[in-house]
Chains A and B, each alone.
Chain A
């Protein structure tokens, strides 16, 4: 009996040790990338290091504005675009988003890690910080902004009542959409809007919703430029909508 107990204790300790020593190894793959200030990247460039910027926003956003000579590889599109990653595995890859933060599970970054890139960074503050620091940007295929009305979350219900044929377009990622969305909203991620906009009904009012209101303006402008006449966006996006639902200010 005593021997049995001792054996059980040893087994228990061995299990604990196994968990302790394997846990970091399992988490090593998820180790967050270092965040680097725009000024530090510019210093690298000045030192003639091979720095390659990778914009992980949607193609529409990346072509609209990006850091000069960036590669456009959206997080969700790594399957198609992985070949655009550079050959030089020692290159310093700096990932950045526009109005979206770089998520830890971004497919582009995981692709780069799998391909053996050692020097990976995330641009701290993204394109916003880059612009605030006063560095240059380029527009390859800029989407001219078209003014259009916005809706406050508090007015959404009354607008939907007055526009029963309205279609709500949720341009967030499928994962975000599945976690929560406004009833009857359809998910058309911004990353594929340039391919799928023609499927949208031309004769119905459209309401574009994003996560926080920072990306819907571009999406709405794009749709207006493509000929959709009645396009609105939800000010503050889903974040504002949730605050409103919880009884926040209009």
Chain B
């Protein structure tokens, strides 16, 4: 019995000892409190690294086992048989770990947390010093000369909190990886870095604090590069980092600077091939309002604004007065005017004359189609930041396809222009006869202005103010002649500048690079002039004037009513009668299909033009 009880006591004692030992060991590794656990671990791991500042580090409230979770058998661990596995920082820093899986350091170099956070056992929250700490940390591996070249670094290291640290541009724990062989990656990189540059350089408050100009961004946005990038097609245009390569943002005359002409040429060559050296004088941040910086650009802008102002001032006044006069004739004074005579259904039964041959009608339809295509593909780029721009550009299938349509329409318009030029020469020199060309040029069948047009303008204004009768017109009125001749100026200006923008490298052999900036201003302003002139003045003069409203179809049907000829162009009528040519020109009224086409195509064009006018004014006034 005694033996049995002593054995039992011995067993109990042994169990108690084992239990106590187990508790001590477990407490040391698994369940230790913050102050106890490090001491136990540090009885072996007594390196300075762990002692230095763990208690006061960012992780000081954790135990060793909080991170090194898989040490379950202390004996095996102490004998080296059980080694700790990899620390999973993501168990706490889940968000950072998730982002880091897309980081270039992980993707390309298999970095893990401790590779950058080498001082993980004494790491402290950086607080305000974070940005400097970031620079110090990154430049351990990345060549420091890169960053110190950059203007940002000097400011940051001097304590300017606004200056960009590495992570402001490249991201922290989510530095993106871009594969240079993939276009989508190049595009994403361009968008990303342009957005990041813009986030500071377009910030007015930051600009004021640091005495730099936000015009840098605003002026870039007004270039072809900026507009196309902003409309959502960064694939083929330069963003900030395409010219401001890497970190070498220095004075232009420094050979290390990306802006040095030698380096600029290299940067431009990434996209543009075969240009003359003077190509690099292109201003990527032009300011047409600064006469000192770009005098030619400034005066071009002034001239274009004067041209727009002068043209619209005259013709809008002309339009308003005309509308007032005819409206009063029609409504206030109860005069019949042309309306009842011209639009009445019976007119189909009346005799008509052939005013436009099939060739001219086809040319006008093609002109309308090319013009609308140019406006609808070009104006979304001009007003890239208006709400309708992206919608319209997406209707074409994106900016790239819109660009293709724009160029096709431009070529069609050029073809029409050259054909018109050929017809004009044939008119002036029929069968290569030079005799009498001057009479033909200033004659009644010519679209070239003469002194009678000047008298007609004066007469028309007198008529507007009821100081006289409406002038008697011949075959072409002065506003029709203006429409025709404006095309010659417009095609020279808008076509020439358009080709310069299309083939800037080739034109660099003729002009310096800054002429591309001039071409941009001319192309943009002239496009506005052409579109708004056609959609307001031309539409009113020919279709929306009360006695023709809603549509004058003769450019589509080719036929012109005899009574309209007598009233609107009495001199031509009298000439035709006197020359005995009238009977030969008489035709039946247009057929059903011609009328249907004229109504549908003509009215649709009118409505589309008016809609575009509204959109353009909306964008011009509010964006």
Contact = CB atoms under 8 A, between A and B. Distances in A.
Contacts of B110: 64-65, 137, 139, 142, 218
Contacts of A86: none
Chain B CB within 10 A, most for which of A139, A152, A155, A250: A250
Interface string B234-249: 0000000000011010
Contacts of B86: 139
B258 A249 contact: yes
Contacts of A139: 86, 110
A150 B107 contact: no
Given A65-B110, A144-B115, A250-B248, A149 B143 contact: yes
A205 B418 CA distance: 72
B453 to A, nearest CB: 61
A145 B117 CA distance: 11
A187 interface: no
A116 interface: no
A148 B107 contact: no
Contacts of B111: 145
Contacts of A99: 108
B107 A144 contact: no
B256 A151 contact: no
A151 B141 CA distance: 10
Contacts of B179: 125, 128
A248 B258 CA distance: 10
Chain A CB within 10 A, most for which of B106, B108, B179, B248: B108
Contacts of A155: 143, 145
Nearest to A243: B266
Contacts of B143: 149-152, 155, 235
Nearest to A125: B179
B5 interface: no
B351 interface: no
Please tell me the size bucket of the interface on A.
Answer: 20 to 34
B118 A247 contact: no
A208 B179 CA distance: 23
B462 interface: no
A125 B106 CA distance: 15
B146 interface: yes
Given A128-B177, A128-B179, A155-B145, A145 B108 contact: no
Interface in B109-161: 109-112, 114-115, 118, 140-146
Interface in A62-88: 64-65
B102 interface: yes
Interface in A204-219: 214, 217-218
A145 B111 CA distance: 7
Nearest to A214: B108
Interface of B: 86, 101-102, 106-112, 114-115, 118, 140-146, 177, 179, 245-246, 248, 256, 258, 262-263, 266
> A-B pairs with the 9 shortest C-beta distances?
A147-B140, A145-B115, A65-B110, A150-B143, A147-B141, A131-B107, A152-B143, A249-B263, A249-B245
9 contacts: A132-B102, A137-B110, A139-B86, A147-B140, A148-B141, A149-B143, A218-B110, A235-B142, A249-B245
